[in-house]
Amino acid sequence: MNKYVITIARGYGSGGRTIGKMLSEELGIPFYDRELLRLASDDSGINEELFAKADEKLKKSLLFKIARKAYNGELIPPDSDDFVSNDNLFNYQAKIIKELAEQESCVIVGRAADYILKDYDNVVKVFVHAPLEACIRTLKEMTGKPEKEIEKQIASIDKHRAEYYKYYTKRNWEDAKNYDLCLNSSELGFEKCVEIVKAYLDIRFR
């Protein structure tokens, strides 16, 4: 099998990140999540802390309500006042994602990677979801927080992920048409989700 990339979008509490890590370990390929921020910082020369803060700034910003063109890959030059804008920080993350897809097999979680790599033939796009009750149960076991607090956190984070995705892609985050596989981790369990993705890789690329 030649180089391939597995992108994973996931609902909060569905275990998508854990499934991505399991795939990385079983397939012996790198796993990228927040590591992308460091790589984008190294490539651009922009402080990594600005990348880390960009998501939070967007979450609180009215920019999500403003129409914009979908991401097109164009980088803003260093001499521009917008060089460290949220949009350009996203552009540099996208640049790194594309370079990784061309250089190696890997698993990438979040960051609208499925859209960024939509024109690449070697990409398997996965969406992991689970019913609210299952997500609450999973997060309660992990954090010990009250269920009402967890439910609010899930609603807030999933809303942000959907708005972030819509802002940069003009697509709906939960639309099955965006993905090759949509997996209910509550019904399947993490191990079977991993097996399904591996089987899909074999069917598609071998």
Q: What is the pLDDT of residues 83-126, one digit of tens each?
A: 556 677 788 888 889 988 998 999 999 889 999 999 999 999 99
d(CA 96, CA 36): 7
Q: What is the pLDDT of residues 44-76, one digit of tens each?
A: 666 666 665 665 555 555 455 555 555 555 654
Residues 6+ apart with CB under 8 A from 69: none
Identify the pLDDT of residue 46.
65
Total domains in the fold of the chain: 1
Identify the CATH number of the domain in which residue 135 sits: 3.40.50.300
Residue ranges making up the domain that contains 160: 5-205
Identify the pLDDT of residue 86.
67
Identify the pLDDT of residue 53.
63
Spatial contact of 14 and 139, defined as CB atoms under 8 Å apart: no
Spatial contact of 190 and 143, defined as CB atoms under 8 Å apart: no
Spatial contact of 91 and 75, defined as CB atoms under 8 Å apart: yes
d(CA 113, CA 5): 10
Identify the pLDDT of residue 66.
52
Spatial contact of 168 and 70, defined as CB atoms under 8 Å apart: yes
Rounded to two decimals, the pTM is: 0.83
Q: What is the pLDDT of residues 143-175, one digit of tens each?
A: 889 999 999 999 999 998 898 898 888 999 999
- Closest by CA position to 17, among listed 204, 194, 164, 180: 194
